[in-house]
Amino acid sequence: MMTERPRLTPAMADVRRAIRENLSDLTPDAVVLVALSGGPDSLALAAGLAFEAPRAGLLAGAVIVDHGLQEGSDVVANNAAEQARALGLDPVVIRRVKVVAASGPEADARSARYEALQTVASELSAVAVLLGHTLDDQAETVLLGLTRGSGATSLAGMSEVNGIYRRPLLGIRRAETVAACEDQGLSVWNDPHNHDSSYTRVRIRNEVMPVLENQLGPGVAEALARTAEQLKQDAEVLDALVAEIMPTVMIPVLGESGPPLRATLETSVLEGLAPALLNRVIRRSALDVFGVSLSAVHTNSIARLVSDWHGQGELHVPGIRVERQGAQLVLTASSSTPTEA
């Protein structure tokens, strides 16, 4: 463990306060893990957790996921583990994963990472896994959603608490996590992927955001993060309304215990819904029944079978075939290529 306590600085205090507030609902002896990459955000988070956990009676450990995508990734993982142990975190687990090509490099790595985090959390009976996303990450997420024409749910950004996953640093700027690491003498690993302009998020971070700050003045990141919070509040209300509507619009499928998966929606109810609710009902049906997250384009295509019905034929969206059958909207599992109606 680290024997010399560093002088408390504003950056360290801000990180610790954010963690303390985020974990205030947990009971003593609960196991909390930090997802540690060795970068400044997760390392500052790990140091803050190591300080706050004993004072709250919590048991704090770390999990390092080695994706094996870069040469020397095992060295990076071992170095991160050594720092975690020096901070006093225990247990410290390195989990090596195989990234399977499916949806793209970023998405595939993320899927493998979260699967590993979930597995380790289950093995250690952890009630929370802390992620090092900062206010800057939140702002980039909102801006990325805007460029893709995403709906309000996507623009609401990342949640501070989502199941076992917690993001205490969503109100902390990236510059503060860097400063917190420097103030504590922590050795930071800088991921080369964070400078690879082939990734859209990297271009937003390194090229777009600086231009916005330069042209519009400071505070752009904070404004985007505030927008995410406001949209999150709106989305929570709309999602609660949709939860009440779903039993009235979804027609149960009786006598079928296996595939093909099918969802049948009553159009007489759908036609009376405001577009914001109609689109959410469609997205909720696709996600709950088929495990498919529909884009805004595909959602709007399906909605037109309700709001602009003039006898058009079936359409295909990823994993689902959709058709209007009289007073019913029928969604059936399909592997067909998406086409527009």
Give the containing element (helix H, strand E) for 196. Answer: none
Nearest to 75 by CA among 192, 195, 189, 196: 189
What pLDDT, in 10s, does the model give residues 210-258? 999 999 999 999 999 999 999 999 988 999 999 999 999 998 765 455 5
pLDDT, position 146: 85
Whole-number Å distance between alpha carbons of 62 and 305: 49
Q: Three-state SS for 81? A: helix
What pLDDT, in 10s, does the model give residues 94-129? 999 888 887 777 778 888 999 999 999 999 999 999
Alpha helices (H) in 148-253, listed in sequence order: 152-155, 174-183, 200-203, 209-216, 220-249
Say whether pLDDT at 286 is over 70.
yes
Of the pLDDT bands very low, low, confident and very high (cuts 50, 70, 90), residue 337 is very low
Q: Which residue has the higher pLDDT, 51 or 156?
A: 51
Mean pLDDT of 42-50: 98
What pLDDT, in 10s, does the model give residues 168-195? 999 999 999 999 999 999 999 888 878 8
pLDDT, position 98: 87
